[in-house]
Amino acid sequence: MAGTFDIKDFEKRMHGAMQGLKHEFSGLRTGRANAAMLDPIMVDVYGQRMPITQVGTISVPEPRTISVQVWDKATVAAVEKAIRDSNLGVSPSIDGQIVRLRLPDLTEDRRREIVKIAHKYSEAARVAMRNVRRDGMELLKKLEKDKSIGEDEHRKLSAKMQELTDKTIKEVDSGLLAKEAEIMHV
């Protein structure tokens, strides 16, 4: 490869954006209980904000129920508050050190709202990938200007960069379609 341009670096950055999108999607509610739905929730305990996964064990005992076995009895109320304040649209119930979440059936309107959120996440991932492409193209221009690569190589590497971008954006689009179908499935 030429100079300091390595397509693998840009591929890694785009892959990172794709992984971020998958993580965001895992937190979206689809009508079935999923422990990953609680991943974004931060709990105010011990004078700091901690992920809910660091204050209790999350399990899915039934298709529409999530339970959080809180390790420290003193933090149960903080966990309940964090869940209430999240935008999951569920009301937790407390049974000793266990916080239970019963997921109601999703209404058509709520499903559409969740699909809109999925579209926002997808667009943010596309923008991140376009930014990676822009960085790659700028580097190629600089290398050509510095005479590190020739015009033909610049053109060839630009085409590879565009091909990589198109491929990863297609992955985003297919991931969005799958998530949308999952959310809208009754």
Tokens for 71, please give them: 């390790």
Residue 120 and residue 161 in one domain: yes
Its domain, for residue 121, covers: 7-25+107-184
The whole-number pLDDT of residue 3 equals 55
Residue 47: DSSP 8-state: T
pLDDT tens-digit readout, 133-181: 999 999 999 999 998 888 999 999 999 999 999 999 999 999 999 999 8
The DSSP-derived string for 75-125 is GHHHHHHHHHHSTT---EEEETTEEEEEPPPPPHHHHHHHHHHHHHHHHHH
CATH number, residue 68: 3.30.1360.40
Instruction: Output the six-digit token pair for 180.
Output: 């949308």
| 79 within some domain | yes
User: Is residue 13 in some structural domain?
Assistant: yes
pTM of the model: 0.70
Tell me, yes or no, whether 142 lies in a domain. yes
Q: Which tokens belong to 108?
A: 């058509």
The predicted-structure confidence for 17-60, as pLDDT tens digits, reads as follows 999 998 888 777 676 778 888 888 899 998 999 999 999 999 99
pLDDT tens figures, 69-125: 999 999 999 999 998 888 777 889 999 999 999 887 778 888 888 899 899 999 999
In a domain, 2, yes or no: no
Q: What is the pLDDT of residue 13?
A: 94
Judge if 59 and 113 occupy the same domain.
no
Residue 85 resides in a domain? yes
Which candidate, 127, 73, 94, 108, places its Cα nearest to that of 185?
A: 108
Which residue reads 């964090």 in tokens?
82
Q: In the chain, how many domains are there?
A: 2
Dist CA 134 CA 146 (whole Å):
18
